Amino acid sequence: MHTATTHAQAHGHGHEHAHEHHEPGFWAKYIFSTDHKMIGIQYGITSLAFLFFGFLLMLAMRQQLANPGQPVPFVGKLLEKTLGADAASGGVMQGDLYNAFGAMHGTIMVFLAIVPLAFGAFGNYVTPLQIGAPDMAFPRLNMASYHLYFWGGVVMLVSFFIPGGAAKSGWTSYSPLATLADMDRAINGQTMWLIGMVLLITSSLLGAVNFIATIIQLRAKGMTWMRLPFFVWAQFVTAFLLLLAFPPLEAAGLMQLADNVLKTSFFLPTGLVTSGGPVPVSGGGSPLLWQHLFWFLAHPEVYVLILPAMGIVSEVIANNTRKPLWGYKSMVYAALGIGFLAFIVWAHHMYLTGMGTKISTFFQTTTMMISIPSVIILTALFISLWGGSIRFNTPMLFALAFLPMFGIGGLTGLPLGFNASDIYLHDSYYVIGHFHYVVAPGTIFGLFAGVYFWYPKATGRFMSEFWGKVHFFGSLVCMNLIFAPMFVQGLRGMSRRMYDGGATYFGNGVDPGVLWLNKFITHAALGLLIFQLPFIWNFFSSLFVGKKVESDNPWQATTLDWQTPTPPPHGNFATEPVVYRGPYEYSVPGAAKDFIPQGQKS
Amino acid sequence: MEIPYTVKPRPDTGLYNAKVGIWLFLASEVMLFGAFFSSYILLRVGAPDGFWPDVATAWPHGLLNIPIGTFNTAVLIISSVTVLLAWASLKEGNLPKFKKFMAATILCALGFLAIKSYEYNEKFTHYVIRLKDGTAVTGHLDIDGKSPRFWSLATVEAKKLESIKVHVDVPNQFRYPVGFKHETHEEAEAKTGGHGGGHGEREIKTADIALLQAFIPKTGTFFAIYFTMTFLHGLHVLGGAIVMAYIAFVGDGMWKTDPERYTNRIEVAGLFWHFVDLVWIFLFPVVYLL
């Protein structure tokens, strides 16, 4: 807390700061840091760990789908020991555990892994650097934001070990299922989930306020809005989505918490009966209300997942094609358009709830409209490649793969946006294939590109190109082998909810001929695990053995983040940066070099 | 490099950082309370109006004390004025006057919370009792002259009470039949022993009771959303009062070292306070009057 105090004083009387400056201790430097770069790294490490953990949950589920009723290899005994015989008797994953892992896989991947990595880590580390700011506008708020996120994650992890296990009603936590599961336990997994979510929501709320205030207030001299790198625009729109879409889920979460703990009936309808008889609640609530409030967040959340990745990919592509982004302004307006439309498409997740054809038609129309700005950004990035002398380094490979992968994810979403075709495809493996194409080889590839791209700035060393390429090609192949077959399974009518992979349901000669793909996908997922090992090794070993950077601007980039010392010190810039030009002045005819940094006068 | 515009406004936006921050925070608060108000609307349009079959499932009217609610509204509006005057006093450079107005603001906040607690207590001692014959009454229990809180049928049975005495609410307003067995006004009066609308006393046998519940969140969706929204609003009042008390009476050393920043703090806290007031301005008519 010592830095925080000196910092607070420094606001009041800056002249005293210089001679009071001393090296902070371990706790102040690494744990209670108010420096946006350290907080970015904290976010990065924590969220990458959660990303891997969420992936392992999915692997355990995949093995159950491929070999229903077989013990989970390697960890089966451990699961039985730690989670109880009810959950994994004899190391075999039981239905409840499958549901819990499924719910927590989704929750962890979305709220604890990808958003914190895309927004918390990259946003924190890079945004102030790119706008020429010394830090975020509210450094202590920034610290609080990380700590809330961390404890939210701890609550989620602890919930695996409480009696009854973690939340098991899907990451969407639909009521009344979410309230009725484990209703007899005072503190159950769902209650822990809600407490964790309230912490996470508060965290991203503080983060969003901080990001927007920083981008509005702390832009360097000359950094006009249309000179902002696209990455900053993407983070700006993302922050607005988080700021305005999360509070309704917080409200919904508080109401579901009341349903669980105080036994209210916000989301429980009148006349609710389970196998145990009538549910002893007053009733009168609305399950649809939960879905509306949930998806009011959760659809904008999709754009929270994708926009920062688009921002990273744009930076990497402009840098490695040595060309300005094609249609920078239209990309900015498209991002703003996405930001606006994201708020009025949520009920396309609810076509099957019977909310009425007129409402469905409205949301179908807006859903088709929002594909336009997404396509504008993707098209602009594709055209940016045209005629460039492309450097195929690891960040660029990931950025290039992002384009078609996100394209597949986006295009396969259209049949889900039309309510006629959605009625057939809803809740099938097709849906899983669709959104994983957007998020896994889409967003996560964008994030990997960012890790490889900014690693030299944060550490002063490159990550290994060789292991990076092994990581890239292996992941690209495996991702497609995992998710493409899911489209086939879904089109043949396989539901996403069957914990034995459909073995029971599809027995007796109605096998749609796609069950063998379960094993296939599981093998591909194992392959994906193997190809992440080079990344983990590369990430840590490069700290010590990676090739050292020879300058502060190893990629010959134009944006301000590369004009700082490496790694950037507290306060970031040696001298106050002034911006004279747009963000992507690559290959300017007649210029001495093929790039002109934003801070270079002429 | 130091973080710029922590005190002085940035020329092109005309705002200092904290002011941008609080406005953004308030935007998210609008969405938070907006979600609650939307939920209120959706739950209400889905509920049977009035008192049929009883307050537990219908959307009751007239159970909240409107005069007290009106008084509380006035208290909160006055506090919004005093916090503004406090800020204006600082702009004049008058610290003692500022402290007086801040003290008035915090007193108003505490007064609001005290009145709200009284109202909550009133609800916790108020009961809906549904009998096995299908009728229902609302009223206060009278157990040896005391009016207990949070009882349920289980409490009555655990205490092995053969019957309980109930001060039944005004018959016309609060008595209503369950199901289709309508009672006439006279029958109702006869049953409660009422004298033209006063509080009647009635002895109810425990064996006749199907449901006995205080007005707590789980009693019905109206109570659920009433308590949730007013409690959340109350937390905002409490939080605002604590922060303002801290700034005004503990952290006032900053007035000497950095008066402009100190004034900004009050402005930001005041913006939040006006918002809390504004939420109540919507909350009051929605839950008390409509």
Is B132 in the same domain as B228? no
Band (B50; pLDDT cuts 50, 70, 90): low
Q: Are residues B59 and B131 in the same domain?
A: no
Q: What is the pTM of this model?
A: 0.93
Question: Is B6 part of a structural domain of the chain?
Answer: no
- Among the residue ranges A151-160, B123-132, B247-256, the one predicted with the least confidence is B123-132
- Total CB pairs under 8 A between chain A and B: 150
pLDDT > 70? residue A12? no
Query: Per residue in A447-480, pLDDT tens?
Result: 999 999 999 999 999 999 999 999 999 999 999 9
Q: Domain for residue B10, yes or no?
A: no
Q: Using an 8 Å Cβ cutoff, are B140 and B127 in contact?
A: yes
Residue of B nearest to A576 (CA): B1
- Supply angle C-alpha A221, A225, A227, rounded to 5: 75
Which of B178, B210, B242 represents a domain boundary (last residue)? B210
pLDDT value at position A187? 87
The number of CA neighbours under 13 Å toward the Cβ of A111 is 34
In this structure, are residues B100 and B88 in contact, taking their beta carbons and an 8 Å threshold?
A: no
- Name which of A213, A293, A573 is nearest B24 (Cβ-Cβ): A213
Residue B50 resides in a domain: yes
What are φ and ψ of residue B200, in 5° steps?
Answer: -95, 150
Residue in chain A lying closest to B220 (CA): A282
Query: Does pLDDT of A7 surpass 50?
Result: no
Residue B5 domain-assigned (yes or no): no
Domain boundary among B210, B243, B276: B210
Return the structure tokens found at A144.
């609080």
Mean pLDDT of A435-439: 96
Mean pLDDT for B80-91 is 97
pLDDT value for B169:
75
Residue range A43-269+282-563 forms a domain whose CATH class is mainly alpha
Asked if B4 lies within 8 A of A244 by C-beta distance, the reply is no
Cβ distance of B31 and A134 shorter than 8 Å: no
Say how far apart CA A8 and CA A4 lie, in whole Å: 6
- Of the two residues A345 and A512, the one the predictor is more confident about is A345
More confident residue, B255 or B181: B255
For chain A, domain boundaries? 43-269+282-563
CATH number at residue B84: 1.20.120.80
- Specify whether B198 is located in the same domain as B248: no
With beta carbons under 8 A apart, name residues in chain A contacting B42: 286, 288-289, 292
Segment among A150-154, A206-210, A566-570 with least mean pLDDT: A566-570
Strand, coil or helix: what is A221? strand
Q: Tokens in use for A78?
A: 């451990």
Average pLDDT, chain B: 87
- Write out the DSSP string of A489-530: HHHTT-BTT-TTTTTTTT-TT---S-THHHHHHHHHHHHHHH
**Taking every pair of C-alpha atoms in chain A, what is the biggest distance, in angstroms?**
82
**Are residue B266 and residue B190 in the same domain, yes or no?**
no
- pLDDT, tens digit (0-9, with 9 covering 90-100), for A350-361: 999 988 899 999
pLDDT at B139: 85
Q: What is the pLDDT of residue A474?
A: 98
Residue-wise pLDDT tens digits, A22-54: 677 888 888 899 999 999 999 999 999 999 999
A419 phi and psi angles, rounded to 5 deg: -75, -25
For the segment A406-418, the average pLDDT, to the nearest whole number, is 96
> B160 and B49 in one domain?
no
In which band, very low, low, confident or very high, does the pLDDT at A501 lie, cut at 50, 70 and 90?
confident
Which residues of B fall within a CB distance of 8 Å from A255?
Answer: 39, 224, 228
Q: Are residues B24 and B106 in the same domain?
A: yes
Q: What is the DSSP letter of B59?
A: B
Stretch A72-84: mean pLDDT: 91
Q: Residue B1 domain-assigned?
A: no
Q: Which residues pair with B142 in a beta bridge?
A: B165
By residue range, what is the domain housing residue B24? 17-123+220-289
- Shared domain for B107 and B148, answered yes or no, is no
Decide if pLDDT at A542 tops 60: yes
pLDDT for B186 equals 54
| DSSP letter (8 states) at residue A176 | T
Residues B116 and B139 in one domain: no
| Residue in A134, A216, A258 closest to B228 by CB | A258
Return the residue in B8, B28, B43, B227 with the most chain A beta carbons within 10 A, the one to mutate for interface testing.
B28
Q: Report yes or no: B7 at the A interface, CB cutoff 8 Å.
A: yes
Asked if the ipTM is above 0.85, the reply is yes
Residue B57 shares a structural domain with residue B154: no
**Each residue's pLDDT tens digit, A506-531:** 766 667 788 899 999 999 999 999 99
> Where residue B54 falls among pLDDT bands split at 50, 70, 90?
low
Within-domain flag for B77: yes
A131-140, A183-192, A538-547 — which is least confidently predicted?
A183-192
Count the domains in chain B: 2
Q: What is the pLDDT of residues B192-217, one digit of tens each?
A: 444 444 457 888 889 989 889 999 99
**Interface membership of B217 toward A (CB under 8 Å):** yes
Where is the domain boundary, B191, B210, B229? B210
The answer to the question of residue B12 being in a domain is no
The mean per-residue pLDDT over the stretch B36-50 comes to: 88
A112's CB contacts (< 8 A; 6+ apart) are A47, A50, A54, A149, A152, A153, A156, A200
User: Do B119 and B226 have their domain in common?
Assistant: yes
Confidence bin at A21 (pLDDT 50/70/90):
low
B32 and B159 together in one domain: no
**Same domain as B148, residue B136:** yes
Residue B177 within any structural domain of the chain: yes
pLDDT tens by residue, B240-252: 999 999 999 999 9
Q: Which of A221, A125, A122, A129 is nearest to A562 (CA)?
A: A129
**Chain A residues within 8 A of B57 when measuring between CB atoms:** 270, 282-284
